[in-house]
């Protein structure tokens, strides 16, 4: 197939696609409900070898996530653009698709004393630390972080594949694994700093989020976005000034990449989370404090997070004072789907 230049670095310059699609995840609207996870599961990952895959998943933060400890598993590039060593996550760290003993418990010749339980005594799963978070009661904190393949501008996976089996599409920047060409070496899994690539043992191939390109090609938003009841996944082209994605990333600069220091230039952006103020020792509200430590947020979204939060906060104050706010109107989403994925407002049932 040859080595396509898009997404590769040459002399320190990364060749970009003609246009780049992006998603913005609004963490102040994420319900942690995993409708995205299920939408993707029934759409793409139900076949043999894919049972344990969650191409999109929601992590409770702070937490160890999916796969376990992904944030400290290496990969990506350092400041000089040199690839950093990465660790290959294990199946257990992703979480197996546990099997259950329904046949024993509910079956026609059941065991009246048996109880339903996952087989194999699991110790981790894709959403194992849901709603746990950190802090000390009552100053506990957590929030939800949905994660997919970031369809990076400089994908470490793509650079790491010795076969050139990973491509970045010219027309939309979607990063795809050519599963026919893939030989299952899994260098991509090591290289991806977000650890969003799974291994299909049945096919001996790596697999990951495909940004629902068959849907995109028909003008339909990705399943995770179109099925999100929280209406928190904006989809659009970064260079389309009318799109909410463009406005949030480029115009208002309130949507930030996750772990920008990983060096891959992700194309999924996040509206950082607010939280209620912490409480003082005596139980009164400390309105000057931050329940989620700001350093924690800076660690996730970089230093621009302060500015992004301040921008939104100022706009909310404006709104309370009766003024208009284009930023908040964009985040609100009045008319779905036009306001949230204007280029992909098609109804799949009508195709």
Partner 1 sequence: MQEPGFGSLTRRRFLEGSLGGALALSLSHLDFAVRPASAAGEKVRSGVDYQDFQDIYREEWKWDHVAKGTHFVNCWYQRGCNWNVYVKDGIVWREEQSGTYPQVKSDVPDYNPRGCQKGACYSQRMYDDSRVRYPMKRVGERGSGKWKRVTWEEALRDIVDKTIDVLETDGPEAVVWDQGTAQTTGCAGLGLSRLSSVLDMPVFDENCEIGDHRPGTAITCGKISFCSSADDVFYSDLILIWGGNPIYTQIPQAHFLTEARYNGARVVCIAPDYSASSVHADDWVPVKVASDAALGLSMAQVMIEEKIYNAQFVREQTDLPLLVREDTGHFLRESDLERGGDEDTFYVFDEQRGEIIEAPKRTLAWGDRVPALEGHFAAKGVEGPIRVTPVFARLREHLQNYTPEKAQATTGTHPETVRELARALANAKAATCITQSNFSKFYHGIEMERAQILVFALAGQMGHKGAGFIGFPYLHIDSVDMLGGASGSMAPHWAVRAMSLKAAPAFIKGTLGGLTREMVIYELAREEHKKRKFPSSILWLYKYGGLKEFYGGSQQWDPHMKRPLDQYLAEAEEKGWQTLPQTPPRILFEDGGNMLRRIRGYQKLLDELFPKLDLVVTIDWRMSNTALHSDYVLPAAGWYEKDDITWATPLSPFSQVITKAVEPWAESKSDWEIHCLFMKTLQQRAVERGVLTYNGIDGEEKRLDDVYDQYTFGRRYTENNTEEFLDEILRLSSNVGGARWSDVKEKGFARFTDIGNGYLSHENAMDVDLDDTMTACTWHTEKKQPWPTLTRRIQFCIDHPFYNELGETLPVHKDDPNISGDYPLKLTGGHTRWSIHASWRDEKNMLRLTRGEPVAFISVEDADARGIGDGDRIRVFNDIASTELVAKVTPAHSPGMVTIYHAWEPFQFKGRTSHAALTPNPINPVQLAGGYVHLQPRGAVCSPGSTDRATRIEMERVA
Closer CB to partner 1, residue 91 or residue 319?
319
Q: If binding is defined by CB under 8 A, does position 90 make contact with partner 1?
A: no
Q: Between residues 174 and 249, which has the closer beta carbon with respect to partner 1? A: 174
Q: How far apart are CA 163 and CA 181, in angstroms?
A: 8
User: Rounded to the nearest whole angstrom, what is the least distance from the CB of residue 175 to partner 1 in the complex?
Assistant: 12
CB of 72 to partner 1, least distance (A): 19
Which member of 107, 183, 294, 303 binds partner 1 (CB under 8 A)?
Answer: 107
- Total interface residues for partner 1 by CB under 8 A: 115
Give min distance, CB of 86 to partner 1, in A.
25
Residue 37 vs 153, nearer CB to partner 1: 37
CB closer to partner 1 out of 12 and 108: 108
Give residues 156-175 in contact with partner 1 (rule: CB under 8 A). 169-172
Shorter beta-carbon distance to partner 1: residue 303 or 310: 310
CA distances in angstroms from 349 to 11, 30, 215, 220, 235, listed in the order given: 47, 26, 11, 10, 20
Give yes or no for residue 154 binding partner 1 (CB under 8 A).
Answer: no
Closer CB to partner 1, residue 76 or residue 169?
169
CA distance linking residue 195 with residue 46, whole number of Å: 20
According to the binding rule CB under 8 A, does residue 138 interact with partner 1? yes
Residue 55: which residues within 8 A CB-CB, separation 6 or more? Answer: 40, 44, 45, 148, 149, 196, 198, 207, 208, 209, 210
By CB under 8 A, tell whether 48 contacts partner 1. Answer: no
Q: What is the rounded distance in angstroms from the CA atom of residue 99 to the CA atom of residue 51?
A: 10
Write out the binding residues for partner 1, residues 241-270 only, by CB under 8 A.
242
User: Would you say 304 and 187 are in contact if contact means Cβ atoms under 8 Å apart?
Assistant: no
> How wide is the angle at C-alpha 241 spanned by C-alphas 239 and 247, nearest 5°?
100
* Residue 177: closest CA among 166, 191, 161, 192: 166
Map residue 57 onto helix, strand or coil.
strand
Residues whose CB falls within 8 Å of the CB of residue 100, separated by 6 or more in sequence, listed in order? 116, 117, 118, 119
Q: Please select the residue that binds partner 1; options are 78, 81, 90, 110, rule is CB under 8 A.
A: 110
Distance CA 266, CA 264 (A): 6
Q: Which of 17, 86, 89, 155 binds partner 1 (CB under 8 A)?
A: 17
350 is an interface residue for partner 1 by CB under 8 A: yes
Binding to partner 1 by residue 319, rule CB under 8 A?
yes
Burial class (CB in 10 A: 0-12, 13-18, 19+), 170: middle
The C-alpha R_g of the chain, in whole angstroms, comes to 21
Q: Report the C-alpha gap between 264 and 258 in whole angstroms.
A: 10
Q: Is 234 in the site for partner 1 (CB under 8 A)?
A: no
Q: Looking at 43, 49, 185, 302, which residue binds partner 1 (CB under 8 A)?
A: 43
Q: Which is nearer to partner 1, 260 or 277 (CB)?
A: 277
Answer for which of 4, 9, 15, 38 binds partner 1 (CB under 8 A) is 38
Residue 184-223 contact track with partner 1, rule CB under 8 A, x = bound:
--------------------------x--xxxxxxx---x
User: Pick from 103, 241, 295, 307: which binds partner 1 (CB under 8 A)?
Assistant: 103
Smallest separation, CB 133 to partner 1 (Å): 6
Residue 151: closest CA among 253, 252, 55, 52: 55
Whole-angstrom CA distances from 258 to 118, 120, 129, 321, 343 are: 33, 34, 20, 32, 24
- Our finding on whether 345 is near partner 1 (CB under 8 A) is yes
Q: Out of 145, 176, 192, 235, name the contact with partner 1 by CB under 8 A.
A: 176
């Amino acid at each position: 197939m040859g080595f396509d230049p898009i997404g590769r670095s040459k002399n320190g310059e990364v060749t970009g696609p003609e246009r780049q699609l992006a998603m913005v995840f609004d963490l102040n609207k994420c319900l942690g409900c995993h409708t995205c996870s299920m939408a993707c599961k029934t759409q793409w990952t139900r076949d043999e070898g894919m049972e344990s895959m969650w191409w999109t998943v929601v992590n409770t933060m702070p937490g160890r996530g999916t796969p376990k400890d992904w944030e400290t598993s290496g990969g990506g590039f350092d400041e000089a653009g040199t690839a950093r060593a990465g660790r290959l996550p294990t199946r257990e760290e992703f979480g197996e698709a546990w099997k259950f003993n329904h046949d024993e418990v509910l079956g026609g010749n059941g065991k009246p004393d048996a109880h339903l339980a996952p087989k194999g005594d699991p110790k981790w799963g894709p959403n194992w630390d849901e709603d746990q978070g950190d802090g000390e009661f009552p100053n506990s904190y957590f929030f939800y972080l949905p994660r997919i393949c970031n369809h990076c501008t400089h994908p470490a996976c793509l650079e790491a594949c010795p076969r050139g089996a990973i491509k970045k599409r010219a027309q939309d920047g979607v990063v795809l694994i050519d599963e026919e060409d893939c030989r299952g070496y899994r260098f991509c899994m090591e290289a991806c700093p977000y650890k969003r690539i799974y291994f299909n043992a049945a096919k001996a191939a790596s697999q990951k989020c495909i940004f629902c390109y068959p849907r995109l090609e028909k003008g339909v938003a990705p399943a995770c976005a179109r099925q999100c009841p929280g209406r928190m996944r904006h989809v659009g082209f970064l260079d389309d000034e009318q799109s909410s994605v463009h406005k949030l990333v480029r115009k208002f600069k309130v949507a930030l990449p996750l772990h920008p220091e990983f060096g891959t230039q992700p194309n999924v952006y996040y509206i950082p989370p607010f939280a209620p103020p912490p409480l003082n020792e005596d139980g009164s509200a400390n309105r000057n404090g931050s329940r989620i430590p700001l350093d924690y947020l800076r660690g996730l979204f970089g230093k621009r997070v302060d500015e992004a939060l301040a921008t939104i906060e100022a706009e909310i104050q404006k709104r309370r004072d009766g003024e208009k706010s284009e930023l908040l109107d964009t985040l609100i989403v009045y008319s779905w789907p036009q306001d949230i994925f204007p280029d992909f407002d098609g109804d799949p049932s009508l195709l």
